[in-house]
Amino acid sequence: MPEPISPQEPETATEAAGAPFEVVLTVSEQADVGPLFRRLGTVPEATVTRRRSGPDEGELGVVEVLQLLVPSAAVLTVAIRTLPAFIRSRRSSVTVTLTRGDRSVTLTGENLDDPQKAFEIADRLLGDD
């Protein structure tokens, strides 16, 4: 994932210190970034910021992504559990990709029907941490 160009909301050292897990969320439809930002903002103990990211190699334009900072695997799981309802609420097919370091998971409406999947996805993102 390219380096962020500029945050839309400043990140403080206090927020970063209280949130050891950082996950970047990319939404397939840029119009859905705002609604997902608002939804994730309701997750207790989670800090969400909107960031602009430069294009990947061979692409044009700027992409807006969400940076999710959470203090624990449990809070990450709660955030992931909000995604199926969000994806199903959209009029068009939406894909959300969660990236933490070199690990990525892509979510669609079809692969999150089972609530247990949220735990599996969190485990995959957290790895050996």
For 40-94, what is each residue's pLDDT tens digit? 999 999 999 999 876 667 766 778 999 999 999 899 989 988 888 888 888 778 8
Q: What is the pLDDT of residue 2?
A: 43
Q: Which helix (H) or strand (E) holds 27?
A: strand 21-27
Task: Give the Cα separation of 5 and 110 in Å (integer).
Answer: 32
Q: What is the pLDDT of residue 110?
A: 64
Phi, psi of 87 (to 5 degrees): -60, -45
Task: Tell me the percentage of the chain whose pLDDT exceeds 70.
Answer: 74
Task: Give the Cα separation of 67 and 57 in Å (integer).
Answer: 21
Radius of gyration of the chain (CA): 14
- What structural domains does the chain harbor? 4-8+18-126 (3.30.70)
